[in-house]
A = this chain, B = another copy of it.
Amino acid sequence: MPENPTSTRATVQLTEKMAAAGADVVLVVTPCFYKGKMDSRALIQHFTEVADRSPVPVVLYSVPANTGLDLPLDAVVTLSQHPNIHGLKDSGGDISRISLIVHKAKSQDFQVLAGSAGFLMAAYCVVCALANVLGREVCELERLCVSGRWQEARVLQQRLIEPNAAVTRKLGVPALKQAMDWFGFHGGACRSPLQPLSQEETLMLRKDFSNNGWL
């Protein structure tokens, strides 16, 4: 049988390839095929070994909508103490969980990145799909938060929620690529098995941007 692409060994090999190709940091998703066995013990062991051997720093990536698996809180806290693990991208959307991680890992030099522009206001940092389309606006939102201009931040945040949902959980990567094309970037074709948007989905996407004044 060929190597399971999310085995610890294959993951280490991939970090080496990425580093050789010039990556400054690697984002490592939770392994999830045998999800029933992926408890804290297994996940701590996996990420520790990957971080021990990766030539570049590791950022943990928890994205339950895709993996069916939340990286458990206690595993994040333990892993935040590893010198080669620099942060977590959390796309789960549970804001109390994210706040709690920030609170628990605050003695470490550990960044918690909100994996969605839908709740940027509530976190410190963000890595998000929508920034590929409305990058300036996402940066503006961060600036407003950092400088404490909460009233303006709230207004801008609310206008970003629907476009953000459209290019993530509602219509996904094909919508992200379509929206990039509309805004003058190169989205391009989807990689199969992802399919292009249907006409109806394209209209829905357009509405989520135009209703909020972006198109």
Which residue of B has the minimal Cβ distance to A8? B192
Bound-state CA distance A4–B45 (Å) is: 24
Binary contact track A51-67/B, C-beta < 8 Å → 1, others 0: 00000000000000111
Contact A191 B150, beta carbon cutoff 8 Å: no
Contact size range, A: 35 or more
The answer to whether A174 and B37 touch (CB under 8 A), given A42-B193, A121-B122, is yes
Query: CB-CB < 8 A to A34: which residues of B?
Result: 66, 172-173, 194
- Residue A7 contacts which of B100, B122, B169, B193 (CB distance < 8 angstroms)? B193
- Residue A172 contacts which of B36, B46, B66, B95 (CB distance < 8 angstroms)? B36
Contact B192 A46, beta carbon cutoff 8 Å: yes
- Residue A68 contacts which of B46, B68, B193 (CB distance < 8 angstroms)? B68
A200 within 8 A of B: no
Contact A65 B36, beta carbon cutoff 8 Å: yes
Contact B173 A96, beta carbon cutoff 8 Å: no
Contact A161 B119, beta carbon cutoff 8 Å: no
A125 within 8 A of B: no
A38 within 8 A of B: yes
Contacts A46-B192, A93-B96 known; list 16 others, CB within 8 Å.
A2-B18, A8-B193, A34-B172, A35-B68, A36-B169, A37-B194, A45-B192, A46-B193, A49-B192, A93-B95, A94-B94, A96-B118, A99-B161, A100-B158, A102-B158, A119-B122
Interface positions of A (Cβ within 8 A of B): 2, 4-9, 14, 17-18, 31, 33-38, 41-43, 45-46, 49, 65-68, 93-96, 99-100, 102-103, 116, 118-119, 121-122, 148, 150, 157-158, 161-162, 164-165, 169, 172-174, 191-195
